[in-house]
Amino acid sequence: MADAIVAEGLTKRYGSVVALDGLDLAVPEGTVMGLLGPNGAGKTTSVRVFTTLLEPDSGTARVAGLDVRSDAVELRRRIGLSGQYAAVDEYLTGFENLDMVGRLYHLGRTASRDRARELLEVFDLVEAADRMVKGYSGGMRRRLDLAASLVARPSVLFLDEPTTGLDPRSRMGMWDVIAELVAGGTTLLLTTQYLEEADRLADRIAVIDHGRVIALGTADQLKDQVGGERLELTVRQASDLALARSALAGVAISEITVDGHQLTVPVSGGASVLVEAIRLLDAEAVKVRDVGLRRPTLDDVFLALTGHAASSSEVSR
Amino acid sequence: MTTLVQSLGDGVVIARRNLLKVKRVPDLIFFSILSPIMFVLLFGYVFGGSIEIPGMSYREFLMAGIFAQTVMFGASFTGAGLAEDIQKGVIDRFRSLPMARSAVLVGRTTSDLVNNIMVITVMSLTGLAVGWRVHSSFWSAAAGFALLMLFAYAFSWGMAIVGLLVPSPEVFSNASFMFIFPLSFLANTFARTETFPAPLRVFAEWNPVSSITQAVRELFGNTGPQPPTAWPLQHAVLASLLWIAILLAVFVPLAIRQYKRAAAR
- The DSSP result for B182-206, as a single string, is HHHHSSSSSS-GGGS-HHHHHHHHH
Specify the DSSP class assigned to residue A151: T
Distance CA A258, CA A18 (A): 42
Q: What is the DSSP string of A95-128?
A: HHHHHHHHHHTT--HHHHHHHHHHHHHHTT-TTT
Compute CA distances B20 → A96, A97, B112, B119, B160, whole Å: 10, 11, 12, 16, 20
**Inter-chain Cβ pairs, chain A and chain B, closer than 8 A:** 70
Do B89 and A81 count as a contact with CB atoms less than 8 A apart?
no
* Nearest residue, CB atoms, B96 vs list A76, A89, A100: A76
How many helices (DSSP H) and strands (DSSP E) are in chain A? 12, 14
What pTM does this model have?
0.81
Q: Quick check: B98 and A100 CB within 8 A?
A: no
* A312 band by pLDDT with thresholds 50, 70 and 90: very low
CB contacts of A103 in chain B (<8 Å) are 9-10, 13
Q: Measured between CB atoms, does B99 come within 8 Å of chain A?
A: yes
Query: Shortest CA distance to B69 belongs to which of B207, B164, B232, B189?
Result: B189
Is the ipTM value over 0.90, yes or no? no
Strand extents, DSSP E, chain A: 3-14, 17-28, 32-36, 58-63, 66-67, 79-82, 156-160, 187-192, 204-209, 212-217, 230-235, 257-259, 262-266, 288-294
| pLDDT for res B226 | 81
pLDDT digits 0-9 by tens, B152-166? 999 999 999 999 999
Domains of chain A: residue spans and CATH: 3-223 (3.40.50.300), 229-294 (3.30.70.2470)
In the predicted structure, residue A71 carries a pLDDT above the cut 70: yes
Given 3-state DSSP classes, what are the helix, strand and coil percentages for chain A, each rounded to the nearest 5? 40, 25, 35
Could you say which DSSP state residue A93 is in?
A: B
| A227: confidence class by pLDDT, cuts 50, 70, 90 | low
User: Are B66 and B36 spatial neighbours (Cβ–Cβ below 8 Å)?
Assistant: yes
Which residues partner with A192 through β-bridges?
A: A36
Are A52 and B95 within 8 A, CB to CB? Answer: yes
Residues A82, A160 contacting (CB under 8 angstroms): yes
CA distance B90 to chain A (A): 5
- Residue pLDDT, tens place only, A153-183: 999 999 999 888 888 888 888 888 888 888 8
Which one, of A297, A98, A202, lies nearest residue A107 by Cα? Answer: A98
User: To probe the interface with B, which of A104, A132, A164 has the most B CB atoms within 10 Å?
Assistant: A104
CB atoms B97 and A148 under 8 Å: no
| Sign of CA pseudo-dihedral B116, B249, B62, B77 | positive
Name the DSSP letter for residue B218: H
Average pLDDT, rounded, for chain B: 91
Q: Does A15 touch chain B (CB under 8 A)?
A: no
For residue A161, the 8-state DSSP code is S
d(CA A52, CA A71): 9
CA dihedral in degrees (A144, A6, A73, A86; nearest 10)?
A: 20
Instruction: Chain A: give the shortest CA distance to residue B35, in Å.
Output: 24
Name which of B166, B16, B117 is nearest A112 in CA terms: B16
d(CA B79, nearest CA chain A) in Å = 17
Could you give the CA distance from residue A177 to residue A179 in angstroms, rounded to a whole number?
Answer: 6
Mean pLDDT of A205-212: 92
- Closest to B92 (Cβ–Cβ): which among A83, A91, A132? A83
Please give the average per-residue pLDDT across A82-92, as a whole number.
84
- Span B201-226, average pLDDT: 93
| Closest alpha carbon to A244 in A229, A257, A228 | A257
A positions 126-185 inside 8 Å of B (CB): 132, 148
Q: How confident is the model at residue A314 (pLDDT cuts 50, 70, 90)?
A: very low
What pLDDT, on a 0 to 100 scale, did the predictor assign at position A317? 33
CA–CA min distance A86, chain B (Å) = 7
CA A284 to chain centre: 41
Per the CB < 8 Å rule, is B24 touching A132? yes
Cβ–Cβ gap A91/B20 under 8 Å: yes
Q: Which helix (H) or strand (E) holds A7?
A: strand A3-14
Contact B106/A at CB under 8 A:
no
Decide if B162 contacts B79 (C-beta within 8 A): yes
| Cα–Cα dist A117/A202, whole Å | 29
pLDDT reading at B125 higher than 60: yes
| Alpha helix stretches (DSSP H) within A238-292 | 241-248, 271-283
The pLDDT tens digits of the residues spanning B179-206 come to: 999 999 999 999 888 889 999 999 999 9
Contact A103 B13 (CB under 8 A): yes
Q: Which of A87, A92, A96 sits opposite B93 (nearest CB)?
A: A87
CB A90 within 8 A of CB A134: yes
* C-alpha distance from A262 to closest chain B C-alpha (Å): 48
Confidence check: pLDDT of A308 > 80: no
The secondary structure element, H or E, covering residue A266 is: strand A262-266
Q: A52 at the B interface (CB within 8 A)?
A: yes
Distance of CA A158 to the CA centre of its chain: 11
Find the residue in B nearest to A100 (Cα). B13
Q: Give B4-61 as a DSSP string.
A: HHHHHHHHHHHHHHHHHHHHH-THHHHHHHHHHHHHHHIIIIIIGGG---TTS-HHHH
**B261 close to A (CB below 8 A):** no
What is each CA distance from B184 to A66, B156, B187, B217, in whole angstroms? Answer: 50, 15, 6, 15
User: Does A313 have pLDDT greater than 50?
Assistant: no
